[in-house]
Chain A
Amino acid sequence: MKRAIWADVLFLAIAIVSACTREGERKTPGADTTTAQLPATTVSGTRIAVAHAGPPGEWQMPAGDYASSRYSTLSTITPANAPNLHVSWAFSTGVLRGHEGQPLVIGNTMYVITPYPNVAYAIDLTQQGQPLKWKFRPENAQQAAGRACCDVVNRGAAYADGKIFYNLLDGHTIAVDAATGRQIWRATMGNLARGETMTMAPIVVKNKVIVGSSGGEMGIRGWIAALDVATGHEVWRAYNIGPDRDVKVGPKFKPFYAHDRGKDLGSTTWPGDTWKTGGGAVWGWLSYDPELNLIYHGTSNPGPWNQDQRLGDNKWTASILARDADTGEMVWALQTTPHDLWDYDAVNENILVDLPIKGVTRKALVHFDRNGFAYTIDRATGEVILAEPFVPMNWSTGIDMQTGRPKMVAEKMTSQGKKVMDICPSLEGGKNQQPAAFSPQTGLFYVPTNNLCMDFESHAVTYIAGTPFIGALAPEKGGPGGYRGEFMAWDATTGKKVWGIKEPFPVWGGALVTAGGVVFYGTLDGWFKAADARTGKVLWQFKVGSGVVGNPVTYTGPDGKQYVAIYAGIGGDMGLLIAGDVAANLPYDVRERGTTLPDLARWTSWGGMLFVFSL
């Protein structure tokens, strides 16, 4: 059934692309705007679960709010005036690596965290030329650069209590005085010698900084931890793999599906002690629902990728987990890809929105998984309300609604010694770290996606601490339809795409949507774009020079104007591993063009800029 839908979507896409080509109305070089004739979604009954943090003109949290909505009530910039956007000012971070993440704006100060070596800048927005208030250069072990799987990125800081909290690549969490730039505390959280690096953006919940580590490709044992805001002392730490005591599974644990209930599933679903090096990192985004007092996070792929070395469900890797914010105790779990065979991490953001579904308002969690399914989940219980493919996919025919598990396609299942061809989506996922946004005005989610497929061949691999624990080669290629990414609007009450903007490259930057009815995103080939949130019509674009892998934010400046800020600096997994040939700063590391995106280096090189736009 899903395959039939995919065929229909493909046919439609091809038809639209050819129609646009005939009309010669391309607004974007290499990209097509397609608008399906669907009515606007009703918005009554929709609500972002948690309000924007701080005044509407500030951006105090990585996603703007605990709900991870990336929605702003600022409305000066509209579809009518967006074509008049222009660069207001810019700032070089001094670092040429992948600029994932986003700045924060608190009061009249903007805070920027760079990729390794993780310099923090406080920028004074009140003065012309935007001088620095301070610059903080942390101690940060150089070895970390070579232990990070996917470039030396940092996804941003959190703010509370006059402090900026962020993670260092070498496995530390630090607190910096927001006023002075002095380090207040420094906590050692990850073991770099075991391949634990830190790249994710923390959130602060009730005087605790919540953090996790990267290292799913290094055979780490994933965890999430809470640190005291004032002292940096660890309040709790929960592993995602292992016996119940370590995973914090106890009386509060009430998973929706029967197969997720049982003792010590975090270790018994692994052969022997393979769970000790089984991955399950927390390197993605965190959400929090104060009413339920639950923190939501995903876990990464299991390690190694060679599935023969870890037969079983491999809980709780590739899972969405809900934990008690005070204690870290697990409350529910949904393993989106049991016994993952394709590197489908489940770390993508969980957007907390109340949605009217079949006449009932549901407390929903919406999640666009690497595995290609868009999940609408009951965030109180972990029940899958609906799950539909949002990108071309062929490894599963759909989700079994009795169990929440994907139905498998045998010929796309990987195993050692078998080369499986043309698996969609590729290991980069239908979507990766690039976060989506939600607008209560339209009721739609704005989703940056990838359209890639891969071949997959695994081999035996030995665990050696501090080295990759992978055991597979998986070359990637463009997916069906002649485009490699699409920025789309998604209706999570029906599981349907409403409109899409086809892009020549995977859309590796995140989304921002505003009450002005404008949605913003950047592309790997270095365009920053504004589109009409209702129709998907591209209203404006500006070439920022380097590919965008970061997330736009919007704020009100001291002059009362609305500004939109974005990093330009290609990198991350797509920029470094897939397109390492875009680099130009290392004379001893010159790379041949990769097959996945052989044309990308024509459009971009590494960069490290912050651009700020206004009317």
Chain B
Amino acid sequence: MQARSFAELGLVIVAVCAPIACGGDSSAAQTPTSKKTVQPSAAATTRYVDGGDSMRFVAHDENLPVGFPASGRPLTLTNPYEGDKRALGVGAQLYVTYNCIDCHGADGSGAMGPSFADGRWHFGGAPGEVFESIYQGRPDGMPQWGGRITNDQIWMLTTYVRSLATKDLSTDNFTGKTIERTGH
């Protein structure tokens, strides 16, 4: 069962993406147009550092102590699908197809894994940082998807996941709207 799953998923994704790739009606992709546009805290492009020997890292300037010289040559990496509504719709479907939804909750409300709706990011919310989290996985159980699905799909997931960060939940005064969650 597990051996065949990725080959089959590839077929599923081809089927899912086909209408879009062929220039089909983008409304079929269930683009969540009702959502507010994201106001990400980080820039849409992520600065990378070329560490030499063909190794490339996301630059985390916030971890540099004062006075330390930044090492390596700066590079930039841009999400090719940033602001692309069709990619956003595909990303929303991939979020279900790859079972992201059952860990991070419908609309990123949080479940087994952390929420996205709060606009707060354990490992950074810039596109390259989110790409990195999906690509290589994270220590608390986030699987590594790099090499298992295409980089294009990871970028579309990045586009969708970042679009969920729409809420300021800093203050809770126990009134107002609630969200639906599924227990297990």
Contact A475-B120, Cβ < 8 Å, known A467-B102, A589-B110: no
Q: Determine the chain A residues whose CB is within 8 A of the CB of B102 once the complex forms.
A: 217, 467-468, 470
Stretch touching chain B among A2-10, A288-296, A547-555, A577-585: A577-585
Q: Which residues of A contact B142 (CB under 8 A)?
A: 146
Quote the shortest CB–CB distance from A467 to chain B (angstroms): 4
Interface of A is mostly: loop
Are A591 and B110 closer than 8 Å at their CB atoms? yes
Partner of A475, one of B12, B170, B177, B181: B181
CB A347 to nearest CB in B, in angstroms, measures: 12
B141 & A580 in contact (Cβ 8 Å cutoff): no
Within 8 A of A (CB), among B131-153: 138-143
* A32 at interface, CB cutoff 8 A: no
Given contacts A588-B121, A594-B180, contact A464 B106 (CB under 8 A): no
Query: For residue B8, which residues in chain A have a CB less than 8 angstroms away from its CB?
Result: 462
Q: Are B120 and A589 in contact (CB under 8 A)?
A: yes
Q: Which residues of A sit under 8 angstroms from B158, Cβ to Cβ?
A: none
B window 96-155: CB within 8 A of A: 96-99, 102-103, 106, 109-115, 117-118, 120-122, 138-143
Asked if A254 is at the interface of the complex by the 8 Å CB criterion, the answer is no
Contacts of B181 in A (CB 8 A): 475-476, 577-578, 580, 594-596
Give chain A residues whose Cβ lies under 8 Å from the Cβ of B180.
473, 475, 594-595
Q: Does B55 contact A (CB under 8 A)?
A: no
Contact of B179 among A147, A277, A595 (CB under 8 A): A595
Chain A contributes a number of interface residues (CB within 8 A of B) equal to 55
Interface string of A128-161 (1 = CB under 8 A from B): 0000000000000011111111100000000000
Confirm or deny: A343 has a beta carbon within 8 angstroms of a beta carbon on chain B.
Answer: yes
Chain B residue nearest to A275 (CB atoms) is B1
| A residues in contact with B122, CB < 8 Å | 586, 588-589
Give the distance to chain B from A273, nearest Cβ to Cβ, in Å. 6
Give every chain B residue within 8 A of A343 (Cβ-Cβ). 184
Q: 1/0 per position for B163-181, CB-CB distance to A under 8 A?
A: 0000101101010011111
Contact A468 B99 (CB under 8 A): yes
Q: Which residues of B contact A580 (CB under 8 A)?
A: 110-111, 115, 181
Return the chain A residue nearest B170 by Cβ: A590
A473: nearest chain-B partner, CB-CB: B182
Residues of B within 8 A of A445 (CB): none
Q: Check: B64 CB closer than 8 A to any chain A CB.
A: no
* Interface size range on B against A: 35 or more
Residues in A neighbouring B5, C-beta threshold 8 A: 462-465
- Taking a contact as CB atoms under 8 Å apart, the answer to whether B184 and A149 are in contact is yes
**A146 in complex: contacting residue of B140, B167, B183, CB < 8 Å:** B140
In the complex with contacts A148-B112, A469-B99, A586-B114, A577-B172 CB distance below 8 A: no
Q: Does B9 contact A (CB under 8 A)?
A: yes
Instruction: For residue A222, give the distance in angstroms from its CB to the closest CB of chain B.
Output: 15
Q: Which stretch (A536-544, A558-566, A597-605) binds chain B?
A: A597-605
Q: A148, A591, A601: which contacts B118 (Cβ < 8 A)?
A: A591
| Cβ contacts A230-260/B at 8 Å (1 or 0 each) | 0000000000000000000000000000000
B28 to chain A, nearest CB (A): 16
B54 contacts across to A, CB distance below 8 A: none
A182 at the interface (CB under 8 A from B): no
Tell me the complex Cα distance, A276–B179, Å.
34
Out of B98, B139, B170, B183, which one reaches A464, CB within 8 Å?
Answer: B98
Residues A143 and B140 in contact, CB atoms below 8 Å apart: yes
Contact status A599-B174, CB under 8 Å: yes
A588 to chain B, nearest CB (A): 4
A-B contact count (CB 8 A): 152
CB distance from A599 to the nearest CB of B (A): 7
Does B2 count as interface, using CB distance less than 8 angstroms? yes
A463 cross-chain contacts in B, Cβ below 8 A: 1-2, 5
Q: How far is the CA of A144 from the CA of B140 in the complex (A)?
A: 7
Bound: A592/B97 CA distance, A: 24
The contact of B112 among A468, A591, A596, by CB within 8 Å, is A468
Of A580, A588, A591, most B-chain CB atoms within 10 Å = A591
Q: Counting CB contacts under 8 A, is A593 at the interface?
A: yes
Write out, one digit per residue, whether chain B residues 1-38 have a CB within 8 A of any chain A CB (1) or not (0): 11001101100100000000000000000000000000
Q: Is the CB of A592 within 8 A of B184?
A: no
Min Cβ gap B111→A in Å is 6
Residues of B within 8 A of A473 (CB): 106, 180, 182
Residues of A within 8 A of B177 (CB): 592
Closest chain B residue, CB of each to CB of A596? B181
Chain A residues positioned under 8 Å from B12 (CB to CB): 462
A175 within 8 A of B: no
Q: Which among A148, A461, A588, A593 is the interface contact of B172 at CB below 8 angstroms?
A: A593
Q: Which of the listed residues B98, B177, B181 has the most CB atoms from chain A within 10 Å of its own CB?
A: B181
Is there contact, CB below 8 Å, between A573 and B183? yes
In the complex, given contacts A143-B140, A467-B99, A468-B99, what are 16 additional A-B residue pairs having Cβ atoms less than 8 angstroms apart? Answer: A147-B141, A149-B112, A217-B184, A427-B184, A465-B2, A467-B102, A473-B106, A475-B180, A475-B181, A577-B181, A580-B181, A589-B120, A590-B118, A591-B118, A592-B118, A595-B180
State the B residues within 8 Å of A (CB): 1-2, 5-6, 8-9, 12, 96-99, 102-103, 106, 109-115, 117-118, 120-122, 138-143, 167, 169-170, 172, 174, 177-184
Ordered by A's residue number, 24 sampled pairs between the chains whose C-beta atoms are within 8 Å are A142-B140, A144-B141, A145-B140, A146-B113, A459-B96, A461-B99, A464-B2, A465-B2, A465-B5, A467-B98, A467-B99, A470-B99, A470-B102, A474-B183, A577-B183, A580-B111, A581-B172, A588-B120, A588-B122, A590-B118, A591-B115, A592-B109, A595-B179, A595-B180
